[in-house]
Structure 1
Amino acid sequence: MNHFVGAIAQDIDLSQQLQAAVVARDADQLSKLFAQLTLSEALRELLGLSQDDRSAVLTLISPELAADLLEEAPHELAADLMEDLETARAVEIIEEMDSDVQADLIGDMETEEAEAILEQMDAEDAADVRRLSEYDDDTAGGLMMSEVFECRDTMTVSDVIKVLAKDDEDVDRYRGQHPYIVDAEGKLVGVVSLRGLLSTKRATLLTTFMVEPMTVLAQAPLSDLEDIFDKYDFLGIPVVDDAGRLLGVVSRDAVSRALLERSESENLKLQGVVGDEVRSMPTWLRSRRRLAWLSANIVLNMIAASVISAYEETLVAVIAIAVFLPMVSDMSGCSGNQAVGVTMRELSLGLVRPKDVLRVWLKEISVGVINGIALGVLIGLVAWVWKGSPALGLVIGMALALNTMLAVSIGGVVPLLLKRIGQDPAVASGPLLTTVTDMAGFFFVLSLATLMMPWLV
């Protein structure tokens, strides 16, 4: 307990020192304090400051540290922080990042601010960023970095070792890449291992011991990249265009980050949170985004409530039914969410497409029939024993079985249909599923109860 209290006191003291250093605009003290923190801790402290103070800190600390902090932050937040800086300072920071990160950050910024930064960047680097920004985020082209250990097919081992011996930023950014061999037209013709390079005579041409590399096209989706890195122990894989020209390298780390970001994004969307929301963002922006989703749910829930209103007489006559209404809708909703989760997973992996609607439905309904009957029998027995009415048990059991079959059908198929019409299935599937399963669950229970009224009262 004393250790816990001591840790809290230490954190508070460090935060106070940071605040004092920010107020004093003391760059040296800020650097010393940030050096005591991990990147995630430093980012938390940064986001606890006011907007003006955040900009001041990013201006006072070294461009390298500022770049590390922005890379640690969610993309949208990092873009907002960059937009608040003077253009010259933003350029200093972005030049410390790899080209793939630069492209992501520039792509998330407002057009005017992004163009201002690109105009002040090195012309070649700016051209790389513009080129990378043309690719979709979840493709090899969108994830690759343009810094490539590229060697001409006329070079010898000695030539490459001289390149490696240089104290050069570009060499540092190769991140242990193997040398990729290209011809005069820039086409990738081979790759040599670093180990092979060091164990071969200096005068040997690279083409004499290079091997044919595995490559991916710039349009290759994230799912294909995931499969490749799962199967092979590559740290990176070269990206080429249709003519075989070397464009860049996509790293294992970049693919892992993209997979994690996609998973987090889809989970947030299913909960009605759109974008990279963090609590340091403006309150009005967070409120507006959430309300857009919540207000739509009000309309959908009013539709579901209207079903209950239409069967008021049945509810008054058999009040015990009201106990089971939320159970039927909730249990079938859970089954539907399982189906949504599987479809979203298969969509992200490229295992299903919108045209596979019938096949997906047949697979889901087969599971829905089995689970619906099993759950229906279970809750039917509970209702019978609890309320002493076999007729009530039959009504509740049949309603849950039918609603489960409907829920898995909707959960499995709706994401595909939304994908076909260009809507985001992660955002829309959840509210639609919830409303339909509630409405249908109420309808099944109340309509079956109305039909069996003579045996219920």
Structure 2
Amino acid sequence: MEEQAPQRPWEELEVLVEESDIEQIESFLETLPASETARAVTRLSDDDQDRLLNTISPESAAEVVEQIPEVHAVDLMERLEPEAAAAIVHELPSDMQADLLGEMQPEHAEAIFEVMPPEEAEEIRTLTQYDDDVAGGIMVTEFLTYPRTITVADVLEDLAVHADTYRHYHVQYIYVCDDANRLVGVLRLHDLILAPRQRAIETIMIPEPMTLTDTTKLDTIREVFEQMAFFGLPVVDETGMLVGVLQRSALEAALASRTENDYRASQGIIGGEELRTMPLLLRARRRLAWLSVNILLNIIAASVIAWYQDTLASVIALAVFLPIISDMSGCSGNQAVAVSIRELSLGLVHPREWLRVWGKEIAVGSINGLVLGILIALVAWVWQGNPFLGIVVGAAMTLNTLVSVSIGGAVPLLLRRLDLDPALASGPILTTITDMCGFFFVLSFATTLLAHLSS
């Protein structure tokens, strides 16, 4: 029977850390799934987390760092002595090295760089200069490259001699470069193994392979991988020099991360990832950064009601329908936002196609708005026995639904085209605008028909 992970693994881990038994700690961590490792480590106190990484080997510590959320990993690594942190960073994949050091406070990152081998430090510094949404920001620099004139036998011998070093590489292809390190071909392992041993690898390589430049944007990379079934693609700089390899798994992770960021922004959580194990004041400050702005937006929406307070006082029944219209319209807008962001993430629509998307949303919004408008109009008519009240709330519902789906459908594409976060079109902003428009439609229509509503 498969052994189950403990229900409260951090308690057992805490005991092992207190005992400083390296072998027992590493054995226990090996029994935990990745998600349980993250839960166990992040539930430890800061002191126990520090003691854990200082106790186990750098290789095991690197595995722990890879499994916990990046925001926790950055905080933990900043607390370690530079020498201990540098030893752990050395064991991480190059893309994660760049991510961690790029997110650290400059003084902490610089202290780690100073105790690392200069060549490795310079390589990581270069990677940290790339944005997260370009090929250079998600590529790895662990790849195999050989000169074009080397023989198959020499390559196989090198692979055997350096097997311990290469075993952590995700090797699918071997890259062939000229004397200036410019990429000239790609060699599949299958072709290498079956080729005559004395042949030069340039005779069996695939010449002029498809490449990405280090500044290629994430959406363009996704389109390339959707068209071709590659496990990875070489990344070159503007001179054609090979600088890294971008794996399909790294692309998928980057797209998932962008979607998560979009969702957090849509819910008013700004300033990066939030987890409940983070410091209380930091979490409160990040939420307040948006909530304080949202107060002002809601005051603007409420001012519409204040402007028409005489109409509202004359027809008090309108107060019942104001939240219904704003809420239903907000739901319609959020549906449109969800579809737009989803289609953007899947590459099914381009930001320049906002007009086409807007037309599609107007079509569905017209149908849904009309149906919802008729339903709410009938409710108002039956409840108050006044058809004009039904006309007011029904027309407001229809028009506000059109406004909400227009914002929710088209604005995310416009923001993406401007290299802004598309999720800014959703959540509190969308809700505030639909509230404002909904209140305005109801109260302005009611003012026009006031004589028929108050009689």
TM-score, L = length of structure 1: 0.91
- The residue type paired with residue 247 of structure 1 is V
CA RMSD of aligned residues (A): 2.4
CA distance 1:234–1:423, change in 2 (3 Å): closer
Q: Matched residue of 2:427: which SS?
A: helix
1:311 maps to: 308
Displacement of 1:277 in angstroms is 1.0
Equivalent AA in structure 1 for residue 35 of structure 2? S
Q: Does 2:273 correspond to 1:276?
A: yes
Separation in structure 1 between the aligned mates of residue 424 and residue 402 of structure 2, nearest angstrom: 23
1:122 to 117, 120, 145: 117
| 1:372 counterpart residue number | 369
Contact 1:156 1:204 in 2 (8 A): yes
Q: State whether structure 2 residue 47 is matched by structure 1 residue 52.
A: yes
Tell me, yes or no, if the aligned pair for 1:77 and 1:276 is still in contact at 8 Å. Answer: no
Q: Secondary structure at the match of 2:143?
A: coil
- CA apart distance, 1:250: 0.5
How far apart, CA to CA, are the structure 1 residues paired with 2:127 and 2:246? 12
Task: Name 1:247's counterpart in structure 2.
Answer: 243
Counterpart code for 1:202: R
Deviations 1:190-237 (A, max 9, x none): 112111111111001111121132211111111222223233332111
| CA pair 182-69 structure 1, distance change in 2 beyond 3 A | same
Superposed CA deviations along residues 161-187 of structure 1, whole A, max 9, x for unmatched, are 111112444412331221111111211
1:301-326 CA distance string (max 9 Å, x none): 12212222233333333232222111
Range 379-388 or range 180-189, more displaced: 379-388
SS in 1 for 2:215: coil
Q: Alpha carbons of 1:28 and 1:202: their partners in 2 closer, same or farther (altered >3 Å)?
A: same
Does structure 2 retain, via aligned residues, the 8 Å contact 1:132–1:142? yes
- In 1, are the aligned partners of 2:407 and 2:425 still within 8 Å (CA)? no
User: Who is 1:105 aligned against?
Assistant: 100
Deviation at 1:368, TM superposition (A): 3.3
Q: Distance in 2 between matches of 1:179 and 1:405?
A: 55
Partners of 1:335 and 1:199 in 2: CA distance: 59
Partner of 1:161: 156
1:74–1:276 CA contact under 8 A, matched in 2? no
Query: Which SS does the other structure have where 1:181 is aligned?
Result: strand
Alignment of 1:319-334 (within 5 A): 319-334=316-331
Alignment equivalent of 2:427, drawn from 427, 430, 435: 430
Separation of aligned partners in 2, 1:394 and 1:343: 32
In 2, the alpha carbon distance for the partners of 1:109 and 1:453 equals 62
User: Comparing 344-353 with 424-433, which one deviates more in the overlay?
Assistant: 344-353
Displacement of 1:350: 9.4
Aligned length: 449
My pick for the range that moved more, 206-215 or 85-94, is 206-215
Q: 1:63-116: CA deviations, max 9, x gaps?
A: 122212212223222111100111111011111111111011110001011111
Instruction: State the distance in 1 between where 2:415 and 2:256 align.
Output: 23
Aligned partners of 1:419 and 1:239: how far apart in 2? 25
d(CA) in 1 for partners of 2:56 and 2:198? Answer: 46
What is residue 21 of structure 1 aligned with on the other side? Answer: 16
Distance 1:96 1:272 in 2: 36
